Amino acid sequence: MKTEIICIGTELLLGDTINTNASYISQKLSELGMNCYYHTVVGDNPDRIKQILEIALKRSDLLILTGGLGPTDDDITIKTLAEYFKEEMVLDKDSLDKIEFFFKSIGVEMSETSKKQAMFPKNAQIIPNSAGTASGIIWEVEKFDTKKIIMTFPGVPKELYRMWEETAHNYLKQFSDRVLVKRVLKFMGIPEDTLGEKLKDLMEYENPTVAPLVAKGEVNIRIAAKAENTEKALELIKPVEQEIIKRAGEHFFGSDNDTIEGIIGNLLLENKLTLSTAESCTGGLVSSRLTDVSGSSAYIKLNLVTYSNEAKIKMLGVSEEILKTYGAVSEQNAAAMAEGVRKVSRTDIGLGITGIAGPGGATPKKTVGLVYIGISNGEKTEVHKINANFNGERTDIKFFASQYALKFLKLFIEKNYQL
């Protein structure tokens, strides 16, 4: 079936509301193996909605509409649909009873306009809304000598999600004999174009398809396969996944919902290691990311933000001589910070980060984005020099510095401890 998503709401056109509903519906349709060919956004205007319907019904078999189902004057989706198809609107008693019960339960008298949420085209099937008062419809109609299906949902995301899972998914399964299964492989430390060149021939496949997806600080490769069931789709994906990792495995760090901080947490737990961090230019961002992982208290023992030289000296034991001779942004200081925080916290591994996040503080020899990352376990200390200045913004430099710090930390653990 050719499917089209129509999102209704002037707030979407003005940019006041981000259109997450279209993304959600597209993902759910793809999981069903259904093709979505168009996304359309239109304001709360009946004439323009009818114009869009005319266009969409000529090119698509299934129209999924979101927005405009509430009690206010600008909630006109159902009424406009009925007018377009010249269909009588009728009151649904069950829907009205539910709306009345809701208002009674919160001790508020129901307004007359709220009753419009219980009015539907005569032959439409109602999609119950267990998360709100505005129900949707499934309406099978004839247009341009072809059967068409129209589905409507509220614009409130949590209501849409609930209605999709409870009703829409099961209804739509009958129209697809395939499923789409996706696998996302995650890479760090390699540009998108370089990775794309390595996988160029694989990206010409039709089933499964291979495509790059850029995420902040990493590059993702999506493998998507259509098949009769999930098991057969995974069989198609497996050899392609193995080939991709074979070609670019040194940059591969995880898949699907994996995060670099979560993987590091698992490595620390598996090897019964503890970690402490000392951050300067990243201002605690590495600490925040590591402790976003549930259960991280089992391996994170001390995280310090030693922004000033005084803090580096007093809290980490960095020598004044290092700071005077080499400066706070130096290989020597990063190593001293890593070893210092490890000794203070008595952990297995210490990590230190120092750099210039900008826009000030740079010199001709030490430019904005220069970052040193030190990692020490008492027996071995290594320091990595990077340039985290990809676009000049301070917050982005901090993020990329944290990303590389986590990358090198992962490699350090794997190299020195991996069971």
Place of tokens 């998503």: 5
Report whether 78 contacts 121 (CB < 8 A): yes
Do 301 and 361 lie in one domain? The reply is yes
Res 284: pLDDT: 98
Which CATH number fits the domain that encloses residue 221? 3.30.70.2860
Q: What is the pLDDT of residues 207-256, one digit of tens each?
A: 999 999 978 889 999 999 999 999 999 999 999 999 999 999 999 999 99
Q: Specify which residues 65 forms β-bridges with.
A: 6, 152
Kindly state whether residues 19 and 167 are assigned to the same domain. Answer: yes
The CATH number given to whatever domain includes residue 68 is: 3.40.980.10
Structural domain range at position 218: 179-255
Residues 157 and 11 in one domain: yes
Q: Are 356 and 362 in contact (CB under 8 A)?
A: yes
Q: What is the pLDDT of residues 178-216, one digit of tens each?
A: 888 999 999 998 989 999 999 999 999 999 999 999 788
- Residue 374 has, within 13 A of its CA and on its CB side, a CA count of 30
In 3D space, the residue among 18, 277, 61 whose CA is nearest the CA of residue 150 turns out to be 61
Domain C-terminal end among 175, 202, 223: 175
- Token pair 């990077």 is found at 386
Same domain, 213 and 249: yes
Q: Answer whether residue 23 shows pLDDT above 90.
A: yes
- How far apart, in whole angstroms, are the C-alpha atoms of residue 127 and residue 93? 14
Q: Per-residue pLDDT tens for 359-404?
A: 999 999 999 999 999 999 999 999 999 999 987 799 999 999 999 9
Q: Yes or no: say if 266 and 293 are a contact pair by the CB < 8 Å rule.
A: no
- 157 and 8, same domain (yes or no): yes
Please check the confidence at residue 418 and state whether its pLDDT lies above 80.
Answer: no
Where among 150, 175, 200 does a domain terminate? 175
376 and 284 within one domain: yes
Per-residue DSSP letter, 166: I
Q: Are residues 269 and 147 in the same domain?
A: no
Does one domain contain both 51 and 64?
yes
Q: Give pLDDT, residue 8.
A: 97
Closest by CA to 138, choosing from 170, 162, 105, 178, is 170
The DSSP call for residue 67 is S
How wide is the angle at C-alpha 4 spanned by C-alphas 87 and 234, nearest 5°? 135
Average pLDDT, the chain: 95
User: Do residues 40 and 5 lie in contact, with contact meaning Cβ atoms separated by under 8 Å?
Assistant: yes
Contact in structure between 309 and 280 (CB atoms under 8 Å): no
* Residue 177 pLDDT grade (very low, low, confident, very high; cuts 50, 70, 90): confident
Q: How many domains does the chain have?
A: 3
Of 208, 240, 255, the residue that ends a domain is 255
The Cα–Cα gap between 312 and 317 comes to: 7
Q: Is the same domain home to 44 and 139?
A: yes
Report which of 332, 329, 339 is spatially closest to residue 307, judged by C-alpha positions. Answer: 329
pLDDT for position 384: 98
Q: 168 and 57 in one domain?
A: yes
Please say if the pLDDT value at position 419 is more than 70.
Answer: no
- The runs of H, that is alpha helices, within 152-216 are 157-163, 169-172, 192-198
Is-contact 218 406, C-beta < 8 A? no
pLDDT at residue 113 in the model: 87
Same domain, 284 and 316: yes
3-state helix, strand, coil in the chain (%, to 5): 45, 25, 30
Q: List the CATH number of the domain containing 383.
A: 3.90.950.20
Instruction: State the Cα angle at 304 between 299 and 308, rounded to 5°.
Output: 160
Partners of 36 in the β-ladder = 3
Asked if 300 and 357 sit in the same domain, the reply is: yes
